[in-house]
Amino acid sequence: MKKAKIYKPSKTAMQSGLKKFDKWMIEFVTDDPGKNPLMGWESSSDTYSELNLEFKSKDLAVEYAKKNNIDFEVIEPKERKIIKKSYADNFTK
């Protein structure tokens, strides 16, 4: 069966807010991407590589994968370290 990874997408460096990053994604892993000989683009006969599914929670994504007999790997998100800083700290050292 198909192999998929379940993960929570992280924000890019160009984004400051975290509003749209509360969903979990299932992304199917392509085994053999190849090059199109005519245009030189990467292509595949596997259409699952184009499919990304969104879920509200990790549990719903895992349940969907188990229900449809999909081999999956869960990638846990890294916790963000928040260091509280004060402008006054620049002058008190």
5-9, 51-55, 65-69, 84-88: the lowest-pLDDT one: 84-88
Delimit the domains of the chain by residue range: 3-10+22-90
Determine phi and psi for 59, rounding to 5 degrees.
-65, -40
Predicted confidence (pLDDT) per residue in 5-52, tens digit: 999 988 777 877 767 778 999 999 877 777 777 777 777 777 787 889
Torsional sign, CA 20, 27, 71, 47:
positive
Selected from 3.30.70, 3.30.160, 3.40.50, 1.10.3470, the CATH number assigned to the domain covering 3-10+22-90 reads 3.30.160
Q: Which of 68, 74, 60 is nearest to 23 (CA)?
A: 60
Band of pLDDT at residue 93, cut at 50, 70 and 90: low
Determine phi and psi for 87, rounding to 5 degrees.
-65, -30
Query: At residue 2, does pLDDT exceed 70?
Result: yes
